[in-house]
Every structure is written in C-alpha cells, then in structure tokens.
Structure 1
C-alpha cells in the first residue's frame, strides 16, 4: 500500500471545490424537498376553499339538525332566538354564541364544533370552483399556490434530474475526502490519501461536467420565481384558467368522480383503458383526468368515435394520442381532416400543445404539396374538400399511424363524395378517431353511419339490431367499444353557471310593417329576420334591446359575442354599435384572419363586441374572453346554437356565462323557439346518454315552413286588408 504512487492534491482547489459543491448540493436538495412542501400547500389551500364553499351550503341545513349531533345542544333555544339554519350560526364566534340567551360557554363550544364538523364533511364531496369575481381570500390563495407551483414545476423537474445524476457522487466524494490540508497529508496512511484523491477527482469530474454553472442557473431561476405576486396569479388565471384545473387534477385535488370519466363503459373495459400506456414526453400541456382517459381510449380501441360535448378539449385528446404514438414511432405520419374554417387553428394547436410538426394541406392554395409531410412525418392537416386530391396523390407506401376526423358529422352521409374519399384515405390508416360533439342532428341513423365507417365487424350489426332498445344497459354495453361521450357538467364541475335568458320584445310599428310585407311575400328566410328588416333600425325592438345589453356588458367589465345567421343583420349591428371596439367574422373572412381576429378580441378592453355569422364563428374557435352571447334570431337547429355557445362556455371559462336570445312576440320567432325545443328534447334523450336511436325527421322541411307561413298570414293578412280598405275610403 505504501508503494502506491498517490499524488498530493492542490488543497486550495480541493477546499474550494468542497465549498462550492456542498453549498450547491444542499441548495438543490432543499429545492427538491420544497416540491413536496408546495404540493402540500396546494392541498391545504384546496381544502380551505372546499370548506369555504361547503359552508355556503349550510343555509340548506335547518337548526334542528343540531339535535342529531348528540351534543346536548338546546335547539329550541336557538329557534326561539330566530335562528332557522346553520348558515346563520356559522359566522358567529364562540363568544358571540354564548351571548345568546340560554346558551352558555359549553353549549357555544358544542355548536361551533358541530357546525365545523358538518362543513368538513360536506367539503369532502364539494367540487372546487374558483370564482373569478370572488373576494374571498381562500379563493385566491388557491390560485396563488397553483400559479407558484406551475411556474416552479419545470425547475423542480430539472433539479430532480440534476440531483439524481450528481447528488450521490457528490455525497460520496465529500465523505471520501478525509484530508483537507498539507500537514494532515504528511501523517495520513496511503489508504486515506487514496480515498481523498478519489473524492477530489470525483468533484473535479462533476465540475468539468459544468455542474456548478448549470446548477447556479437553476437556483437563480428558482429565486427569481419567489418574486411572483398574487396580482400575477390573478391575471394569469383570468387569462387562461385551464392549466390551473389541470394541475388540480394531476395532484388528485379535484373532486371529479371516476364514474364521470368512464361514463357508460363496462368496468372491465374501463380498467383495460386505464392500464393503456400514454406517453406524454412530446406534449407541452397538462391533461385533465378525463382527457387522459379519452386519449387512452382512442389508443386502446384504435377505431373509435369520441362524442364528448363541445368545450371539453377533444382536440387536446387527439393530439395527446398522436404524441404518444410519435414518442414510440420515429417520423410517424398523422392526418387530421377538419372543416376549412378550423385548418389554421388545428395547425396552431398541434404545434402549441406538442412537439409535433404540423403540415397544412389545403387545396385552395393550389395543388396540395404532401412531399414534405411524406418525407419528414408529422401531422398533416387538411379539409374535407381536399380529400379527393389527397387520395389521388398520397404514396402507396405512406402509412398513417392515426387519422383524426374532426366534426365527423360532416361525413354522416355515406353517399356523399367526401365520405367516400375519406373512407379511401382511411384504408391507409392504422387507427381512426372520429370526433363530434353532435352525434345526432337531423337523420335517423347518422351515428350508425359513422360507426360503419370505423368498423365493419359484428359491432355495427349489433348497433343496428339493438338500436330500438337504446335505453337499456345492454345497448350501452354493445356500443361501449366504439363510442365514448362525456358532458360538461360531469367532468368540468368547476365551470361557472350558464344562464339562458330569452329576451322577448314587442315589435315596433316599423318592425311590424316590414315583417308583414315579408309575410305577404311568403319569404321564410326574410321572416326570420324580423326586427332587422328595415334599413333604419333605430326603431327596431331587437336593436334597442341589443344596445341595452351591450351597455350592461361594458359596465360589468365583460365582453360579448353577437351571433346571426344573416350577414345583413350583422352589418346593421356593426353600424348600430358605432364607435365601440367591434370585431367581425363572416363567411368571407379567411381562415387565418379569423384566428387573428379572435386573438385581438381576446386582448381588447372590456365592453368589446365580436359580431359573427353563426356558421363562421360558431365552430372551431376558442373565445373564452367573452362571457356574454347574444343571438339576433333563433337558429334552424339546436346544434348551431350549442356549437356557438360552446365557443365561450368551455374549459378555461372563469365567469358565469349569460346567453341572450333576441325574440319578437307574435312572430315567426315563437314557432322557431318551439321547433328548437322539440329538436333539443330529441337530442337530450339520445345523445347525452351515449345512445343511438331514430330521431324525428327534419322538422324544418318544406311542409313545416309552409305551415308556419300560412299561420302568420292568417294572423296578419286580415289586418292588412282592413288597412287597405280604410285607405281606399279616405
């Protein structure tokens, strides 16, 4: 051992390394431990908010319930003092309670403890809903804790990686270094010297790996994040609340029930899907619990119809499924088929939420160029009108790992050319995901047609065979392998309230005169524009109400979207609104410009108005910046209104949503409202239960229209004749 040639280290350099490495290592270990502390802080803040929310429900619990607590509380005394429910007692301290005549200190303590117990019990099943308009400290403390963690999470992750790689080596090296000066070196054994040299060389190797610089950057980032303010957190939440709730989900703090995530799937299938691997390494977004399950469902079932209600993030689920495949299959090819109106949005969403590259294949730009996509892989995004050219030009050697078909009700007709072209392209896809929030709309067997595109095995036969018993559990079992549908109230329990507010207006003389002229002409579409027909709308009942609503919206610090089917109506609305901040989307607005308009509207001041044709702005756009929706007239089918509302009432909305329908009494509006109610009842009965059934024929057909026109003529033509006669007499 004494003959081993061991070099004497530079003790100045050695001690400098010891100080640097030990200081950095201790700080990184402390930061990693703070990850758990931050999670606990979120959990504590969530519990505090749940208790606060639960206490709001104490008003529904009568004082008499205190008698069941077996604490000897004198309920009769409390009732005599005028207390009827627990909410009236909750805000009182023990001292205040003891001042009630007949209630002593012991009674006051028992009351306080019992009410707190009720609140904690209720909190266990209370869903977290963060209120953008709340003044409660508990509400914003949770937002603050979540925001701090969101910002620090990348640092926590990087620190954990650094510690996993270096901490063990540094710790061992510091233990190995027994000698720290020259004098000690002279009197040490070779074994001790060898141990010291080995530790020194380990520290040098760590230093040469740029550990101090990289670690210092992380530490500085973390220290900077300590400057995050509550104002920063509030601003971010109001701008985009979705990541806050996604974080709550990932930390298992939210109260979404698994049964809502699984919906009507049999337990064996739900378990299989839960065990499906979902690789999120290529994702740039945190998934909600139900979104993770939706992506796994698409991967596990391979050919499936995702019918989640609009606003739940089907796009994110599809991207997650594609990203998971891409993580395992280098240069994988994916194809998204969607309406032309959302082409740009799909490209943006793919590249925003994942590391996948999007390729826009759009025939209106000339001949589509698929060479880059075929060579490099990634996500090709095309519209239904370009499917024929895609089918003609795609290489026979190109394999599509997954094809995603958005707004799949566009291909509900198997005889349509676009459906046939899509089926041709589908033959090259290993997996196909159809997505639509409106599986039942106008035809009897629309859903069967969609499932037929996906599967030609026994399941489609069973779906058709058992469609008549669509209310049964047996039917749900039959359809489960191919159809998954969840609704907002089940999985987005944090969504604020939505109020539907019909605004019935009495036609002015000018409204009625213009309307009667169209009744005489028998023009159904013109009749639908009641109160917007005249050139000068300063005496329009709907226009006056619209102005009042826009003033209310501005004063309340909100933004509004005004929808109409008719371009002429929108033009009049724009003129009516004068010098307000008005943004406009019509069918003529290019796809790229629509998204730019939405972006600018989102950044605009309170009181801004976005006016849009319902077909142009009602699909594919996310407009949570608005919280008020106004329809200038009833639409011909409920899905148009539902889709339009879902642009606003979706994941990320933080304010209660107000939906106003401008309607004129004694007009075609009354018939249109009845028509929508009838159609919505059919949709609710079937689609919202993940069921397929025959629905009524399209009631807005020629016969129905003629009957409506005839009723309006019978109502108004006698008055017209009388007026004409009176004019002749004079």
Structure 2
C-alpha cells in the first residue's frame, strides 16, 4: 500500500513539476521576446527624446527647482537647451566659470528629471513607406509577439499563476524527500509532505480543467519560431498595424495620460470603473488600456453612452463587455445598428470573440429571431428590422443591448427610437455608442442620456441649471452615463492628419448653373452647381489632379459626396476602374464586398461613397487620401467620414482634401459649420473653454438652407442691380 501511495505521490509531483517547468520556460521565452522589442525600441526612443530635449530651452530647468536655479553662466557657456545641459554632465558643468558644484548638480538633476518625463511621453511612429534598419528591427521583434496573438498573453498570465501557486508546494514536497524517508519521519513531517502533495494534485487538476498545459504549450511553440524576414514582417504590419502599436504601447510603458484614457471622469466614478473585473475568456483580441476601461465602464455603470471619437475601437470595447458577461453566464445579447454595418458587426463578433453572431435581417429574419430566443448568442439587427421583433416579456433576458450609431435615436418620437426604448427598458445593461452624440443641439444629447439614465437630467431644473452653467457643469452632470476619449489624447502613434481646403474659382459654366439654382431657391442644386458641366468644372479638374497624384505614389483614395449624381459625374470622369459608388441603396452585404474589393486591390484604387452611407460604421483605413466633394451641413458628418480612414490601424498619414468654391454657398456654409463645431466641442468633447450655453447654436438643415438661399438671392440681386 505504501508503495502504491508512493507511486501516486511521485506521479502527482512529476505532473506538477512538468507543468511548472513548462510555465517557467514560457515566461523565460516571453521575457526574451519582450527584451528583443525593448532593445530595438531603445535607440528610436532615445533619438526622439534627444530631439525633444533639444527644443526645450535650458531656462525651463528653473521650473523644476521652483525658480531657485541660476543659469546665467551655464547659458552663457552655450548650454542653451536641456539636451546640452545633459550632454555636458555634472563634471562638464562644474568646469564652467561661475558655476559651483551645487548649481552644477542641481542643473544636471533637473535636466535628468525633464529627460525622464520626456522619455515616458515620446511616441515612436513606424513609417511603412520609408522603412529603415532600426524600424525594421523593431517590426521584426514585434512580429513574433503579434503572431502569437492574445492567446499568448493569456498563456503568460496562466504561467505566472502556475509559477506562483505550484512553486511553493512542490518545494515543500522536495524538502520532505522520498517516500522511504517519510516512513521513518515523524507524524507531523509526513502530514506536511502529504499536504504538499495534495495541494499539487488539486492545482494540477484545476489546471487540467482549464486547459493550462495546452495553452502554455501552444504559446511556447509560437514564441520559439524563428524571426520573420523583413518583407513578411512589413507586410503583416501594414495589414494590422493597430495590433503592433497596441503591443508597443503595452511593452514600452508609454501610452496616454491616465486621466485622458479614463475620459476625465470624476474620481469616484473612475474608481468604481477600475474595480470592475473584466473576464477575457471569450475574447480573441488584446485591449488597449483605454479600451479595457471603456468595457469596464459599460459593465460597472450598466446603462451608458460610449462617445469615443471615431477610430478608437468602440466595437471592440462592446465585444469585450459582451464576452465578459458571457463568461458570467449571460446567454442573450442584442446589437442594433445601421444596415450598412450589419455585416461588419457579424464579422467582428466572430473574429474578436468566441460568441455566436446571429444576423436578424432579410426575408428569414423572423425564423432567425426565434432561433436566437431559443439558443442564445449575439443577435445583430437593424433599426428598421427591430420594429418587427416584440420586446421580451418572459424567457431569457437580454444581458446587454448595444445600440451602434446611437445618434439615430436622438429624436424620441420616431418609431426607431420608440422601438429601441422598448428593448432598452427590458435589458439588464444598455450600451449606446456614437462618435457624434450631438449634431445641432444639446437637447439631442440629453435625449440620448434619457434613454439610459433619465434620473441624471430629469431632476427638476437639473438640465437647465447644467446648461446655463456651461459645458463643464453639463459634462459633470452626465459623467455617470457618458464616456468620451479623443484620438489626440489616447492614440499618440496615429499618423498625421493633413487637412487642405482646395479653393477653386467658378468656371463660367459653374457660375451659370449656380445662378439658376439661386434664383430657383434650390439649396441642394446650389451645393452641387460646381459639377453641373463636367467638361468645364473647376472642382472636378482639381479632383482629377489629386487622384492622379495619389496614383503616382500608389495611394488609395476614397471620394465622398452627399449627392449620388455628383458621384456619378466623378465616376464618369475617372473611368471604369473605380469601386462603388457605395450609396444608401446598396444592400449591406454588397457594401462590404465593395470595401473588401477596394482594400484588396493592389496599389492605387479609388472608392466612391455617399457620405452618409460610407461615413458610418465601415473601416476604410486602406485609404490614405480622402476627398470631400463639397462641405457638409453638419460638421460631424465630415468628421465621421474622415475617421473611417484616419483611425487605429491606419499605417500612413492621411491627407484630406475638401473641394470648395471661392464664391457661392461653400464659404457661407463653412462659417455656420464653425459655430456648430464649437458647440460640440464645448458640451460633448472635453474642452478647457466653454464657449456656449445649452442652445446657443440651433441650426436645423431647413433653417440653414433658407438662410443661405436668402442671403445669396440678395447678393446676386445687388450685383445685378
């Protein structure tokens, strides 16, 4: 019996030892891979930091020492920047006439302090179009970890847990010695040895249930692969640069300011969100810090509006929240979105999680709805289709309702808003998502918040007092339900966004078409008069030039217009090779096919898109040139369209060309748009200056059109007189 017991104990300890050895090997392999990234990153960071320090005058050292430092002699000796002070070092500074040891030491210490701060904030940008040896080395080093994927991160965490839990009982069992020695040991020693063996057995059984050994083994294989060649690594980087930058931010310890990543929420709300667990069992994507916070915000606050600027991964944050709830036992989830992004949502759920997506769309949507009610999963439907599905009065509850592009329900009286409200009232958690929570009025923003947490603004006089007090008071009032982060605050690695207003004089044909539209009082015809005669259109000539320039450098172009006939004119001008036009009448699946074909095209390509169709939900980061055929009535429409290309995952600088006429409607429209943009900044986007009160700017499309038409009629009448 003792021999059988001894064999069993030895077997248990052998299994535990193998698991511990595999865990420690994985941790060592992972540390080597991380070390390779940091080794490749260091010279790039040092160069950026040195450049930054060169631009900081030495006089700023006084700020670090509260003005006590005397720098006259140091500056007179030619050390006029913080970098020059650092390069001189303590000894060099002490050799300067009039600089004592204490001053030299203080100046150098202050310079080091600034250098450390700069080193933490510089962001390395990888230029895919101009690779050089140092960035190539970094991309190759990152490639190994990116290829291992999010499973590697889970494996490393499991390995750390195995090391911490298995190490001590295995050590205690080893100290107890063999089974024969235990026969002659005292009762207490045998009990300790048996307790250690039992602990190892329990831990090994738990690890077996979780599949820890398999997870660690696969990650070890992935991390031990040889380095990729340059071409393979660069191609992979271009295809999924967001994954590379996410990993780079994580390993470098850089990234956004914590307050910015947390949307500048009040401390009590932020603390509650931080303490919310986030289970990644059903997730297949690594999250950036701000994305994990966004998912936790949705879970902790339960009924919220995620207003992140376009391109920050709101869809991924929603899927992370759904995956967490699934791990906690949630079975039924519902996503409501515009028709144009239904296919994209279905794909993302399958790619980013282990959850089952169930599209409720098309002729068989009622059968799909019945199947979802019976079996569960993530149902994905459109605003229009939602009206045909009765909100659940019994059976499984919807663990989370996600409403994408939630500004579609800003008007509470519409049928789509009433349908969403009925489902939201029966959901345990509700997540509204939109990068444009307010377009014309703060009242629209309040309407979205009332869908979620009406008590925030429905207290007697609360909304009015918040509006009258200005934007900061309003943001504080809605903070428990509203989280927004902007690209500039949390994506330091985003490539440059270069806006160019392309002004062109009306041709004689343009002028004639414009005059006819003004006299007829036709605002829409006024907006597209510059394309009335394609052969003589000044805007179209400039558009051709921009496209030709992009073709010369192999860049992809997306052309946006509000008007289908303008897109038709552009298509005729550019020839049959263009993709699209992508319009509101194109079925969702066909829209995605157009985008896929555009993305897959080798080198230069052009996609034509109606701005309110292509500007919503689709990812167009294959394009690095954006052309806006005319200014839009709402600034958020332009922002949304541009953000389809300038978003996380875009490896190239994005150039935006807005085509404008020097006379006519364009200039007057821009002046009004600037006021509307200020309103949005003050109330929905974080801003240090509150420039408006609640309804300072209230411009509907109809009133704007009437105002401009009347002004232009008076102007032309005066000119004719």
Task: Structure 1: state its 5+ residue gaps.
Answer: 103-108, 180-187, 193-197, 722-730
Residue by residue over 1:455-489, the C-alpha shift from the partner in whole angstroms, topping out at 9 and shown as x without a partner, is: 24365326414223443755443322122222111
Q: What's 1:693 paired with? A: 694
Q: Is the 8 A contact 2:303 2:430 kept in 1?
A: yes
Q: What's 1:284 paired with? A: 284
Q: How has the CA–CA distance of structure 1 residues 469 and 398 changed in structure 2, closer, same or farther, with 3 Å as cutoff?
A: same
Matched, 1:436 2:431: no
1:50-129 equivalences under 5 Å are: 50-62=45-57, 76=76, 78=78, 117=112, 120-129=115-124
Q: What's 1:549 paired with? A: 546
Number of aligned positions between the proteins: 682
Structure 2: how far apart are the matches of 1:401 and 1:446? 27
SS at 2:368 equivalent: coil
Q: How has the CA–CA distance of structure 1 residues 374 and 74 changed in structure 2, closer, same or farther, with 3 Å as cutoff?
A: closer
Q: What's 1:725 paired with? A: none
Matched, 1:150 2:150: no
Q: How has the CA–CA distance of structure 1 residues 174 and 617 changed in structure 2, closer, same or farther, with 3 Å as cutoff?
A: same
Task: Structure 2: state its 5+ residue gaps.
Answer: 63-67, 98-103, 186-193, 195-199
Matched, 1:414 2:409: no
Q: How has the CA–CA distance of structure 1 residues 71 and 360 changed in structure 2, closer, same or farther, with 3 Å as cutoff?
A: same
**Alpha-carbon offset, residue 164 of structure 1:** 8.6
Structure 2: how far apart are the matches of 1:78 and 1:167? 58
Deviates more, 1:334-343 or 1:598-607: 598-607
Residue by residue over 1:492-550, the C-alpha shift from the partner in whole angstroms, topping out at 9 and shown as x without a partner, is: 1221221211000112223223333333333211111122112x43x311111111111
Structure 1: how far apart are the matches of 2:473 and 2:308? 21
Deviates more, 1:667-676 or 1:638-647: 667-676
Q: What's 2:592 paired with? A: 595
Q: What's 2:626 paired with? A: 629
Matched, 1:668 2:669: no
Q: How has the CA–CA distance of structure 1 residues 70 and 719 changed in structure 2, closer, same or farther, with 3 Å as cutoff?
A: closer
Structure 2: how far apart are the matches of 1:250 and 1:216? 21
Q: How has the CA–CA distance of structure 1 residues 696 and 20 changed in structure 2, closer, same or farther, with 3 Å as cutoff?
A: closer
Q: How has the CA–CA distance of structure 1 residues 265 and 166 changed in structure 2, closer, same or farther, with 3 Å as cutoff?
A: closer
Q: What's 1:183 paired with? A: none
TM-score (norm 1): 0.80
Q: How has the CA–CA distance of structure 1 residues 176 and 252 changed in structure 2, closer, same or farther, with 3 Å as cutoff?
A: same
Q: Is the 8 A contact 2:29 2:224 kept in 1?
A: no
Structure 2: how far apart are the matches of 1:56 and 1:166? 48
1:214-613 equivalences under 5 Å are: 218=218, 221-222=221-222, 225-251=225-251, 253-329=253-329, 332-362=331-361, 367=366, 369-391=368-390, 394=392, 396-457=394-455, 459-461=457-459, 463-471=462-470, 474-534=473-533, 536-537=534-535, 539-578=536-575, 580-613=577-610
Residue by residue over 1:73-131, the C-alpha shift from the partner in whole angstroms, topping out at 9 and shown as x without a partner, is: 8755659xxxx8678x799999xx9xxxx9xxxxxx99xx9999588435334232423
Q: Is the 8 A contact 1:127 1:494 kept in 2?
A: no
SS at 1:636 equivalent: coil
Structure 2: how far apart are the matches of 1:165 and 1:529? 70
Q: Is the 8 A contact 1:66 1:73 kept in 2?
A: no
Q: How has the CA–CA distance of structure 1 residues 71 and 31 changed in structure 2, closer, same or farther, with 3 Å as cutoff?
A: farther
**Alpha-carbon offset, residue 700 of structure 1:** 3.4
Q: Is the 8 A contact 1:311 1:649 kept in 2?
A: yes
Q: Compute the RMSD of aligned alpha carbons.
A: 4.6
Q: Is the 8 A contact 2:499 2:657 kept in 1?
A: yes
Structure 1: how far apart are the matches of 2:443 and 2:215? 62
Structure 1: how far apart are the matches of 2:229 and 2:664? 55
SS at 2:284 equivalent: coil
Structure 1: how far apart are the matches of 2:457 and 2:59? 56
Q: How has the CA–CA distance of structure 1 residues 700 and 459 changed in structure 2, closer, same or farther, with 3 Å as cutoff?
A: closer
The structure 2 residue matched to 1:38, chosen from 13, 17, 33, is: 33
